[in-house]
Amino acid sequence: MKLIYSFFLCLLSTVSLFAADSISVSYDQLYVDNNANVYATTAQGIYKYNKNLVLQYSFEYNKYGAPSSIDLHIPMKVLLYFAAYNKFVVLDNRLAVVREIDINKINEDFNNVLCFSADNNFWMFDNSKQSLIKYNQNLSVIHQYENMNLRMNQFVQIQKMAETNNYLVLSDSATGFYVFDILGNYVTHFPLPGITSYQLIDNLLFYVLDLKLHSIDILTQYNKEYEILFDHTIKDFKISGSRIVLLTDKQIIMKDL
């Protein structure tokens, strides 16, 4: 954690759009995995680039349309959730389908978000029932926590969730972020409304506000603003090791920090 803080303290200049590495493309969102691979998405598919921005693999959304959520924090697995069909698809590191799961077999009325767990299982949050459930690979319930709205003292509509550093972080764009431990116990909530694009690195959540990079510690809620300015043309960003990846309407740009 100290390395991350020290790293960004050294950044004294703005992010330039004239990077050494860039490609001319048009994408909607960016993702990175722990192996420094870069993933970009459109309404038609997901595209995987290596750390040098060389295209490696692609997966077209021919069957179910565009996914409602994507989980990429485990490098060897890509999870695509298609809410309209209540199905999720697991891809390998070459973006080939290895498994498809019909959530209707679990609950036909599921209104949820989901993500992988570090122990090779997966979490689901049901917005209708306000329940947090952990399943194993055989779709058997490991943990189930009902009436989460009572534990969090408010009704939520979760849009994204991900594990990081032994914590589970759920986000509601209207009310902020909710933190649980990996046993599903509620830890804390910090209000940060309006943030839909962010990145979790260990206990730090990075986001852009007023064209500046910020971070907040998900446990202490210590908030920091960095000396990095973002141009209005930046649609999305991700930090990958010692580099930052930027997405504009026409380019993916990778720059050393």
Output the average pLDDT for the chain: 85
Which two tokens mark 126?
A: 């049901």
Q: In what order do the strands lie in the sheet with 131-135?
A: 112-116, 122-126, 131-135, 141-145
Q: Give the range with max mean pLDDT: 70-74, 106-110, 148-152.
A: 70-74
Q: b vs e for 128-156, b when ≥16 Cβ sit within 10 Å of the residue's Cβ? A: ebbbbbbbeeeeeeeeebeebeebbeeeb
Contact 226, 20 (CB under 8 A): no
The residue-averaged pLDDT of 210-221 equals: 93
Q: Which residues contact 181 (CB under 8 A, 6 or more apart)?
A: 166, 167, 168, 187
Q: What pLDDT is stored for residue 7 in this prediction?
A: 44
Pick from 48-57, 69-78, 96-105, 242-251: least confident? 69-78
Q: What percent of the chain has pLDDT over 70?
A: 90
pLDDT on residue 38: 93
What's the confidence (pLDDT) of residue 138? 83
pLDDT recorded at residue 188: 93
Average pLDDT over residues 188-204: 91
CB 186 within 8 A of CB 152: yes
pTM: predicted TM-score of the whole model, two decimal places: 0.84
Strands 45-49 and 38-41: antiparallel
Backbone angles phi, psi at 104, to 5 degrees: -60, -25
Rounded to an integer, what distance in angstroms lies between the CA atom of residue 49 and that of residue 39?
6
Beta bridge partners of 206: 199, 215
pLDDT reading at 8 higher than 70:
no
* Residues 6+ positions from 135 with CB-CB distance below 8 Å: 106, 121, 122, 123, 124, 141, 142
Cβ atoms of 247 and 234 within 8 Å: the answer is yes
Closest among 199, 183, 189, 185 to 158, alpha carbons compared: 189
